[in-house]
Amino acid sequence: MNIAEAARASGLTSKTIRYYEDIGLVTPQRGVNGYRHFSPADVHRLRFLSRARRLDFSLQDCRDLLMLNEDTSRSSADVREIAARHLAQVDERLADLAQLRTALQQLVQSCAGDGHPDCSILDALAGDCTDPSRA
Report whether pLDDT(130) > 70: no
Mean pLDDT, residues 30-37 taken together: 92
Q: Where are the domains of the chain?
A: 1-55
Q: What is the 3-state secondary structure (H, E, C) of 86-113?
A: HHHHHHHHHHHHHHHHHHHHHHHHHCCC
Q: Are 63 and 25 in contact (CB under 8 A)?
A: yes
Q: Which residue from 24, 66, 30, 28 is spatially nearest to 45, judged by alpha carbons? A: 66
Query: Element (H or E) spanning 37, and its range?
Result: strand 36-37
| pLDDT given for residue 133 in this prediction | 54
Cα separation, 16 vs 26, whole angstroms:
11
Q: What is the pTM of this model?
A: 0.79
CATH architecture of 1-55: Orthogonal Bundle (1.10)
Label residue 115 by pLDDT band (50, 70, 90): confident
Amino acid letter, 30: R
Contacts 24+ apart (CB under 8 A), 114-122: none
